[in-house]
């Protein structure tokens, strides 16, 4: 089921959002990512990154050095 949103208007930084008068709704895609902060980036993760980077683009691998975040 796709997510649907309705356009909202804001008059100033202190006002609440109010629905626009058009009543239009839009389909949206929501991405959610989880960053594992409980696991150390040790030699096993470095080896995982090196192995996977031989197969696919290194920038698309999830096991990356924490400094890149």
SS (H, E, C) 30-49: CCCCCCCCCCCCCHHHHHHH
**pLDDT tens-place string over residues 13-68:** 666 655 566 667 777 778 777 777 777 888 988 898 889 899 988 878 877 777 77
- Domain boundaries along the sequence of the chain: 3-61
The per-residue pLDDT for 43 is 92
Q: Coil, strand, or helix at residue 27?
A: strand
pLDDT-based confidence at 12, cuts 50/70/90?
Answer: low
pTM of the model: 0.43
Does the pLDDT of residue 9 top 70, yes or no?
A: no
| Angle, CA of 21, 9 and 32, to the nearest 5° | 115
The per-residue pLDDT for 45 is 86
* Cβ atoms of 50 and 26 closer than 8 Å: no
């Amino acid at each position: 089921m796709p997510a649907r949103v309705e356009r909202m208007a804001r008059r100033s930084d202190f006002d609440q959002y109010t629905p626009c008068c058009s009543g239009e709704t839009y389909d949206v895609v929501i991405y959610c990512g989880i960053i594992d902060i409980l696991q150390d980036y040790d030699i096993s993760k470095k080896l995982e990154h090196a192995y996977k980077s031989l197969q696919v683009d290194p920038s698309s691998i999830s096991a990356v050095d924490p400094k890149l975040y």
